[in-house]
Structure 1
Amino acid sequence: MTLTVSAVIATYNRGPELRIALTRLMTQTTPPMEIIVIDDGSSDGTGAMMRAEFPTVRYVRQPHNGGLILARNFGFVNTAGDCILSVDDDSWFEDPDGLARCVAYLEQNPEVAAVACNIETRDGLVYFPKGAAPFDVPWYVGCGHLLRRSAVERVGLYMPELYRQGEEKDRCLRLVGAGYRVVALPDVMVYHDKSEKGRKPGMERFYNHRNDLIREVARCPSPLLAWRLARAWAGNSWKNLRHGPRMTDLKVLLALPQILRIGLKHRAPVGVEAYRRWLHLAKTAAPASAPPPERRPAEKAVNRPAASRPAAAERPSPARSD
């Protein structure tokens, strides 16, 4: 049986980028059976563009900015495909059969709950070595992945309180805990244009730190919880320090009551063995978190939209997390 696909795209004030993303998605050799765009309160004319240029795409405008994660949850419960494709409003498959290859892999591997595409960014990062065989990873990246609906229904939606960032790690930890696999497909490339609109480094650092702590409270087995909380705090504090003096740690400290409340509200720890397996994957096969320090000569562009995709340097080995 061929799996059907629903595509979910959350957007906020990125009309021109969204136009490219939708156009590329709709010209896939096997396009999704339905596409839903959740507009998180845009004020840049996105709605008018959608109605004029993409009348066949379901467009839902939220009355207020509820956050990326809430929008993705809304898209999941309001679609019907066997699989849910997630791409950002500034990302798209590089090859016309990228989605078809993702679907084929899920069809052939019923124990796999999610496939992580290989992400190429405008600043020269390629997450996985091109040409590598599929391999297990601890999480997918929000701007390019395909989920098996039945697996998500088993482990549940994203924690909406995360608001933005970190939802992929929490979801995948739950999937691993339930006995599923998350697999990277290094030859299925998704280009992430990484629009600067809406990106605030200080906010990203805060939510990365905050949401890592929430995940540990919610999912870490009790015997490991104290150590993992300390490890998550120290690791994120070190990352913040590398970017120079910041107020991020103080803001996270002030948010500790909220962090504990949210984590305990959703507490459903995975088994110790599954948790250790996930940690091992995070150390050995995690997506990269920064561009490589040295870049090779640019590759020749293939089927790339004009002025929207610079060539990227390729990492020589599976990228690791910090």
Structure 2
Amino acid sequence: MGKMIISSSIVLYKNNETVLKAAISSFLKITFPDVILYLIDNSPTDELRDIFDDSRVIYIHNPSNPGFGAGHNIALKSAIQQGSKYHLILNPDVYYAEGVLEELTDYLEKNTDIGNIMPKVLYPNNEIQRLCKLLPTPYDWIGRRFNPFKKMVEKRNDLFELRFTGYDRIMDVPYLSGCFMYLRISALNEIGLFDEGIFMYGEETDLCRRLIDAGYRTVFYPRVHIYHHFEKGSHKSWRLTKIGMQSAIYYFNKWGWFFDRKRRLINKDILRKINSKK
């Protein structure tokens, strides 16, 4: 295969050290010889500086806290300069077994039209997380949360979160979770990095959409899995709720609110492909 640099970045903010160490260890178990892990610490202090002693780890303290996507962009810019071929956007609350990244890398090597790939995501108790989604409408991101009619919400979730698929097959998905984004660097060179106008929540949606617009596939690959602690912070904090609302407004101002023809076409095409493979 020759020399192939694999890089990753984790954006930190006052993280639980035990949980964070599991994420770091998961990536560093990779068998490829040329790897780099960036820890971009947006915390006010650098208490996490010495959390892991490994020559492959680069720690950058960034207390200005410009946001999730902006933090990862610091790492991505460096990874591009270093000649990285693939880059993993990794949440600090994710962990996984050996071999996961190797299998995903092999699949990317064989399918050069894929710009982003995500494995099956499980809770620590092995329940599945429904993180495959269609491109969102304003109702999906704003209305669902405040809809008191649970049956109506569940019906929409079945479609929006592609629950009807069973999450048991490889499929193109236009909106994949930002907890684990395995990205092709050459695709990012073409479309650009995360939109720093989004502080947090929705930056992965925007990036997936730009990949699709450029002709790349964004793929769910359930043959390997990861574990994600996954706490919906935006549902527990009004501050994070406000940030989520601001991100949604930014996203829909950019791509369109109710009259987004491209969104309809992309979602329709995805559903057609999924249903044709039943």
- Provide the TM-score with structure 1 as the length reference: 0.64
Cross-structure match for 1:54: 54
Alpha carbons 2:44, 2:63 under 8 Å: kept: no
Find the structure with the greater CA-based Rg.
1
| AA in 2 matched with 1:23 | S
Q: Deviations over 1:213-271 (max 9, x none)?
A: 32222234xxxx5535xxxxxxxxxxxxxxxxxxxxxxxxxxxxxxxxxxxxxxxxxxx
Gaps of 5+ in 2: 133-164
Q: CA deviation at 1:165?
A: 0.8
Aligned residue runs from structure 1 range 7-18, under 5 A: 7-14=8-15, 15-18=17-20
Partner of 2:71: 71
Residue-by-residue CA offset, 1:109-149 (whole Å, 9 max, x unaligned): 11111102221124744337788231000122111120001
Please give the alpha-carbon distance, in whole angstroms, between the structure 2 residues aligned to 1:172 and 1:120: 21
Q: Which amino acid aligns with 2:60?
A: V
Deviation at 1:284, TM superposition (A): 8.7
- Matched residue count: 235
Query: Whose RCO is larger (CA < 8 A, sep 6+)?
Result: 2
**Cα pair 2:234 2:241 within 8 Å, conserved:** no
Where does residue 189 of structure 2 map in the other structure?
Answer: 153
The TM-score with structure 2 as length reference comes to: 0.73
Q: Which residue of 1 aligns with 2:259?
A: 227
**Quick one: distance in 2 between partners of 1:97 and 1:106?**
14
Q: Report if the CA contact (8 A) 2:199-2:247 is conserved.
A: no
Measured in 2, the distance between the counterparts of 1:86 and 1:49 equals: 19
Over 3 Å counting, the alpha-carbon distance change for 1:214 and 1:281 in structure 2 is farther
Matches for 1:1-322 after TM superposition, within 5 Å: 1=1, 3-14=4-15, 15-30=17-32, 33-43=35-45, 45-50=47-52, 53-79=53-79, 80=82, 81-93=84-96, 95-122=97-124, 124-127=127-130, 132-194=168-230, 200-220=236-256, 227-228=259-260, 272=261, 274-280=262-268
Residues 31 and 99, structure 1, Cα contact 8 Å, conserved in 2? no
Distance 1:155 1:219 in 2: 15
- Partners of 1:42 and 1:199 lie apart in 2 by 24
Who is 1:266 aligned against?
none
Which residue type is aligned with residue 107 of structure 1? E
CA contact (8 A) 1:130 1:186 kept: no
**1:12 alignment partner AA:** Y
What is the RMSD computed on CA atoms of the aligned residues? Answer: 3.0
Structure-2 change in CA distance of 1:210 and 1:71 (3 Å): same
Q: 1:164 to 1:24 in 2, by over 3 A?
A: same
CA distance in 2, matches of 1:208, 1:31: 39
Structure with the higher fraction of residues in strand conformation:
2
The 2-side partners of 1:33 and 1:12 are apart by 23
User: CA 1:198–1:23 in 2, change beyond 3 Å: closer, same or farther?
Assistant: farther
Shift of 1:196: 8.5
**Structure 1: gaps of 5 or more residues:** 229-271, 287-322
The match for 1:305 is none
How far apart are the structure 2 equivalents of 1:122 and 1:226?
37
After the TM superposition, list the runs of 4 or more consecutive aligned residues in structure 1 that deviate by more than 4 angstroms.
128-131, 195-200, 281-286
In structure 2, what residue type is equivalent to 1:91? V
1:65-92 per-position Cα deviation (integer Å, ceiling 9, x unaligned):
2221110111110113111111111112
Q: Secondary structure at the match of 1:35?
A: strand
How many percent of aligned residue pairs carry the same amino acid?
23
Within 1, Cα distance between the matches of 2:241 and 2:60?
Answer: 29
Show the counterpart of 1:316. none
